[in-house]
Amino acid sequence: MTEYWFARRFPVGSPRNAMAPVHWKGYAIVAAYVTLLVLGGVAFAWLGASGRLVLGAALFAVAAIVGASLFIGLSSIKGDKTRTVADYRKDARRV
């Protein structure tokens, strides 16, 4: 059985195809994404304040691209495309 880290937020057939974490590894990926964005923002502010605005913007862009690629890639690879988050919560209450 495959271990899913993410699941659909809306039922199959909905025009929205959003994924949300349902496993601690999924939450870790979300935390890594947020951390990369915060670090990129800090680097942008630090370098911008010291007169190297272009370098700061480039570092922020790289952090955002790497973080988004990691998040989107892993959510599509490790995501359950048939069950929703509500299904996982319902199963967790039964145990």
Tens of each residue's pLDDT in the chain, 95 residues: 678 999 999 888 888 888 999 999 999 999 999 999 999 999 999 999 999 999 999 999 999 999 999 999 999 999 998 899 988 888 777 65
Cα torsion at 23, 29, 33, 34 (round to 10°)? 40
Cβ-Cβ contacts under 8 Å for 16 (sequence gap 6 or more): 9, 10
Q: Under a CB-based contact definition with an 8 Å cutoff, are residues 58 and 40 in contact?
A: no
Q: Strands of 79-84's sheet, edge to edge?
A: 19-21, 6-8, 79-84
pLDDT of residue 15: 82
Say how many CA atoms lie within 13 Å of 49 toward its Cβ: 5
